[in-house]
């Protein structure tokens, strides 16, 4: 270290003077020299190789002496006394390091408890990670001094609340006294306000939040019929929780109780949709947060009162009108209203429209409506009418929002549709689930008719997810096809074929843009969901019921098969359903498109469509060998047209035994 100290005297680029570290030991005060770099010499880092080896050898000797029973204090003195290098201090274990190890051990134990509870509740059985008795003992030891209520977002609180939820969920292994403790703990969690700070965010994902486990435990207790009288109000309070993750779990658990506590479940649905409606934003964020909290509290009081009254089925509250007319304002180039106070000389007489000032949490509302048990509600008198009234009102609201009546061409309102992307998709799926439970005439009148009259973009943004989900839920999955399936397919196909892009002489004819149009095409040709073993038909590879969809497919292909996108999806259908698809019908459909000529099929150039058609021709020829003339003639004519288009595979197929003796008239 003498040489190290002398180096600083000759370093002309850095005028610095080393300062020693003084430490008082039982044998006296010692000075140590060096920086963080020299401190790491004890680990062999940044040290001359000889010194690094020496320090590691000294460490090895010290641990060997400890194993032989040498007194640690004596050993430390032997290493440190007389040594002036700061590296020698790295051989001793500091209290800070021990504290970090203890903190890590406690954190790991808390996380293990949370994971155990999560796996138990998800799997429906006690996890083998450790026993229930051990878990309940750990949790009750941790529930001391209000630690759980101190930070509901910590893994410690989540683990303890999770064990309490397990005690209420698995009543066969828990005692009466343990369930009483669990009820008290979860009630405290439900009544503890959420701690908010500047970095707090309502959409934060905290899977170990104690409120999530409180919702699961209280719902299990309510289902058992042995819950405390305050359990329903505590669970409703969690449904109005400011953290979206907690609120969604609570609402989902409450809606799962519709079969035993229908009015409580309905109140939870109304509450969840009510808290999505927030007051307009102010210039001060604190004022808006206070107003939002007051709105949550008001909605919670109304929900609890509705449960206590236990009468009627109130329709969930809907947001205010999506647009507000501002007299005297003028729209800017982007349709944004400009204040008349700033542009007095540019004010127009009729004013302008702008989005309503109120805030609607459409993303949260979209997640809530996906939890609605549609089948159970539609089987309940009163609740059925309330749900249908709500969906009818929200359908009108959504249409007015994305395609307002005052903006026929969509020039000033299209920007609003992107704000409702999650809502449009989720609401269309809700309409699809409802449509499968209604008669065909009502489906067309109340659901499809208001949508198909819209202009293309807003129409298909609702129609595509609706049809896709309807066909999955009511045609592919169930053993029995819904009675309204044929009506839904016919109405949606008629609207799709009326799209101006399917006019052969139009601009960029046959080109499907965006996401909605290709999705609707795939849905109507039943290739949107493939390789789904759990389905009842089509998606699971069983195409024996293909006669159900052949009229729709036939009409679609003959009308729009000249589009490369439509033909590609149709060929995908035939390739998957090759064992069940009628060969004669395939030949007639493809031939009706090929006879349109090269000009109509110009978008096929450079694609694999001719080769794929030739492959299917060969497949059907092999399946039906020897072919009757009624099938062989159209297949051979298809090959002739493909040869004229330059497809070599078709030329080779013409010379095979299946077609060699066939003569065209």
Confidence of residue 649 (pLDDT cuts 50, 70, 90): confident
SS3 state at 22: strand
Residue at token pair 């934060």: 204
**Residue 186: burial class (beta carbons within 10 Å; 0-12, 13-18, 19+):** buried
With bands split at pLDDT 50, 70 and 90, how would you rate the model's confidence at 343?
very low
Closest CA to 356 of 317, 413, 300: 413
The least confident of 101-115, 159-173, 247-261, 532-546 is 101-115
Report residue 153 as tokens. 């977002």
Q: What's the CA gap between 659 and 635, in Å, rounded? A: 9
Print burial letters for 87-119: b (CB count within 10 Å at least 16), e (below 16): bbbbbeeeeeeeeeeeeeeeeeebebbbbbbbb
Across-strand partners of 655? none
Instruction: Give residue 417's pLDDT.
Output: 57
Q: Are strands 352-355 and 28-32 parallel, antiparallel or unpaired?
A: unpaired
Q: What is the pLDDT of residue 327?
A: 78
Report the C-alpha gap between 188 and 662 in whole angstroms: 84
Distance CA(375)–CA(99), nearest Å, equals 56
Residue 309 burial (CB count, 10 A): 11
15-19, 230-234, 244-248, 463-467, range with the lowest pLDDT: 15-19
504: pLDDT confidence band, cut at 50, 70 and 90? confident
* C-alpha span between 311 and 514 (Å, rounded): 47
pLDDT higher than threshold 90 for residue 653: no
Instruction: Note the pLDDT of residue 336.
Output: 45
Which range among 319-333, 518-532, 648-662 shows the weakest confidence by mean pLDDT?
319-333
What is the separation of C-alpha 60 from the centre of its chain, rounded to a whole number of angstroms? Answer: 54
Distance CA 31, CA 33 (A): 7
Question: CA–CA distance from 441 to each of 283, 484, 488 (Å)?
Answer: 50, 8, 10
Radius of gyration from C-alpha coordinates of the chain: 36
pLDDT reported for residue 342: 41
* Phi and psi torsions of 61, nearest 5°: -65, -40
Does the structure show a pLDDT above 90 at 369?
A: yes
pTM above 0.85, yes or no: no
> Is beta strand 359-360 parallel, antiparallel or unpaired with respect to 277-278?
antiparallel
So what's the pLDDT on residue 104? 84
Q: What pLDDT sits at residue 255? A: 97
Token duo for residue 213: 């486990």
Nearest in space to 136 (alpha carbons), one of 172, 162, 107? 162
Q: Tell me: pLDDT of 345 over 90.
A: no
Q: How far apart are CA 159 and CA 281, in angstroms?
A: 37
pLDDT of residue 405: 85
| 648, two tokens | 């070599």
At residue 6 the predicted structure's pLDDT band, cuts being 50, 70 and 90, is confident
Give the bridge partners for 25, in sequence order: 28
| pLDDT of the residue at 338 | 45
Which residues contact residue 599 at a Cβ distance below 8 angstroms, ignoring those fewer than 6 apart? none
Instruction: Provide the pLDDT confidence category of residue 283 given band limits of 50, 70 and 90.
Output: low
Matching residue, tokens 């989902």: 252
Q: How many CB atoms lie within 10 A of CB 600?
A: 17
Low-confidence winner among 36-45, 159-168, 388-397 (lowest mean pLDDT) = 36-45
The dihedral formed by the CA atoms of 616, 622, 627 and 632, expressed in degrees to the nearest 10 = 30
**Residue 446 has what DSSP assignment?**
I
Mean pLDDT of 230-250: 95
Distances (CA, A) of 604 to 203, 449, 511, 598: 47, 35, 11, 9
Predicted local confidence at residue 93, as pLDDT: 55
At residue 91, does pLDDT exceed 60?
no
Average pLDDT for residues 549-557, to the nearest whole number? 96
Question: Cα(394)–Cα(351) distance, rounded to whole angstroms?
Answer: 27
Q: Is the pLDDT of residue 329 over 70?
A: no
Using CA of residue 210, residue 310, residue 276, residue 442, what is the dihedral sign?
A: positive
| Residue 657 reports pLDDT greater than 50 | yes
pLDDT digits (tens, 9 = 90+) for 566-622: 999 999 999 999 999 999 999 999 999 999 988 888 888 888 999 999 999 999 998
Residues 355 and 288: their CA atoms lie apart, in Å, by 19
CA atoms lying within 13 Å on the CB side of residue 364: 27
Strand partners, 360: 277
Q: For residues 293-314, give the mean pLDDT.
A: 89
Mean pLDDT of 366-379: 96
Better pLDDT: 106 or 347: 106
In whole numbers, what is the pLDDT of the chain averaged over residues?
87
Helix (H) or strand (E) holding 326, with range, is strand 323-326
Instruction: Choose from 56-60, 143-147, 250-254, 350-354 the range with maximum mean pLDDT.
Output: 250-254
Using an 8 Å Cβ cutoff, are 608 and 561 in contact?
A: no
Residues 612, 639 contacting (CB under 8 angstroms): no
Tens of pLDDT, residue by residue over 10-51, are: 776 767 788 888 988 888 999 988 888 888 888 788 888 888
Spatial CB neighbours of 45, under 8 Å, sequence gap ≥ 6: 52
CA distance 268 to 248: 10
Does 630 have pLDDT greater than 50?
yes
d(CA 141, CA 144): 6
Annotate 221-254 with b (16+ C-beta within 10 A) or e (fewer). Answer: bbbeeebbeebbbbbbbbbbbbbbbbbbbbbbbb
Cβ atoms of residues 279 and 292 within 8 Å: yes
Q: What's the rounded mean pLDDT across residues 492-497?
A: 96
- Burial 554-584, CB ≥16 within 10 A → b, else e: ebbbebbbbbbbbbbbbbbbbebbbeebbbe
Examine the pLDDT at 332 and tell me if it is beyond 70: no
How far is it, in rounded angstroms, from Cα 307 to Cα 644? 74
Task: Render pLDDT for 417-464 as a digit per residue (tens, 0 to 9).
Answer: 567 889 999 999 999 999 999 999 999 999 999 999 999 899 999 999
- Can you tell me the distance from the alpha carbon of 422 to that of 420, in angstroms, rounded to the nearest whole number? 6
- CA-CA distance, 210 to 202, in Å (whole number)? 15
Mean pLDDT is lowest, of 59-73, 181-195, 266-280, 359-373, for 59-73
Cα pseudo-dihedral 537, 539, 540, 541, rounded to 10: 90
DSSP state of 33: B
């Amino acid at each position: 270290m003498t040489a190290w100290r002398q180096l600083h005297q000759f370093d002309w680029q850095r005028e610095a003077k080393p300062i020693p570290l003084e430490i008082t030991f039982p044998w006296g005060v010692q000075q140590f020299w060096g920086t963080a770099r020299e401190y790491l010499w004890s680990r062999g880092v940044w040290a001359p190789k000889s010194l690094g080896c020496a320090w590691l050898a000294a460490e090895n000797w010290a641990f060997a002496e400890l194993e032989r029973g040498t007194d640690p204090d004596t050993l430390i003195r032997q290493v440190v006394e007389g040594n002036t290098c700061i590296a020698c201090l790295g051989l001793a274990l500091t209290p800070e390091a021990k504290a970090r190890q203890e903190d890590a051990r406690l954190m790991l134990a808390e996380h293990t408890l949370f994971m155990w509870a999560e796996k138990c509740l998800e799997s429906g059985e006690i996890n083998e990670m450790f026993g229930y008795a051990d878990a309940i003992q750990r949790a009750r030891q941790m529930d001391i001094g209000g630690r759980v209520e101190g930070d509901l977002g910590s893994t410690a609180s989540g683990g303890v609340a999770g064990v309490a939820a397990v005690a209420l969920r698995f009543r066969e292994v828990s005692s009466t006294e343990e369930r009483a403790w669990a009820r008290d703990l979860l009630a405290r969690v439900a009544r503890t306000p959420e701690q908010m700070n500047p970095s707090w965010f309502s959409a934060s994902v905290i899977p170990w939040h104690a409120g999530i486990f409180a919702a699961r435990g209280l719902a299990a207790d309510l289902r058992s019929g042995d819950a405390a009288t305050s359990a329903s109000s505590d669970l409703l309070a969690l449904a109005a929780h400011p953290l979206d993750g907690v609120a969604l779990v609570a609402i989902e658990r409450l809606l799962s109780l519709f079969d035993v506590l229908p009015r409580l479940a309905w109140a939870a649905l109304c509450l969840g949709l009510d808290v999505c409606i927030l007051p307009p934003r102010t210039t001060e964020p604190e004022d808006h947060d206070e107003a939002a909290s007051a709105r949550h509290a008001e909605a919670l009081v109304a929900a609890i009162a509705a449960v206590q009254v236990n009468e009627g089925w109130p329709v969930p509250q809907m947001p205010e009108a999506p647009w507000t007319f501002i007299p005297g304002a003028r729209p800017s180039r982007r349709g944004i209203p400009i204040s008349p106070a700033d542009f007095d000389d540019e004010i127009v007489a009729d004013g302008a429209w702008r989005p309503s000032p109120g805030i609607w949490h459409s993303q949260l509302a979209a997640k809530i409506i996906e939890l609605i048990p549609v089948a159970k509600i539609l089987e309940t008198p009163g609740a059925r009418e309330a749900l249908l009234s709500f969906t009818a009102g929200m359908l009108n609201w959504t249409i007015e929002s994305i395609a307002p009546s005052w903006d026929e061409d969509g020039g000033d309102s299209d920007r609003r549709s992107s704000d409702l992307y999650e809502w449009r998709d989720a609401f269309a799926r809700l309409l699809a689930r409802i449509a499968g439970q209604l008669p065909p005439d009502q489906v067309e009148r109340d659901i499809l008719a208001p949508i198909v009259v819209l202009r293309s973009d807003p129409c298909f943004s609702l129609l595509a997810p609706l049809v896709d989900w309807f066909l999955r839920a009511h045609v592919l999955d169930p053993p029995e096809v819904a009675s309204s399936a044929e009506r839904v397919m016919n109405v949606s196909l008629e609207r799709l074929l009326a799209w101006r892009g399917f006019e052969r002489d139009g601009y960029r004819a046959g080109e499907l843009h965006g996401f909605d149009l290709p999705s609707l095409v795939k849905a109507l040709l039943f290739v949107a969901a493939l390789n789904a073993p759990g389905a009842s038909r089509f998606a699971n590879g069983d195409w024996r019921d293909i006669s159900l969809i052949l009229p729709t497919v036939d009409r679609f292909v003959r009308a729009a098969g000249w589009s490369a996108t439509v033909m590609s999806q149709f060929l995908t259908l035939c390739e998957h359903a090759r064992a069940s698809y009628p060969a004669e019908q395939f030949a007639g459909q493809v031939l009706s498109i090929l006879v349109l000529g090269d000009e109509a099929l110009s978008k096929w150039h450079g694609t694999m469509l001719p080769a794929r058609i030739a492959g299917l021709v060969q497949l059907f020829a092999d399946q039906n060998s020897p072919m009757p003339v009624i099938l062989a003639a159209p297949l051979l004519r298809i090959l002739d047209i493909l040869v004229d288009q330059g497809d070599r595979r078709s030329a080779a197929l013409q010379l095979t035994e299946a077609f060699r003796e066939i003569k065209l008239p």
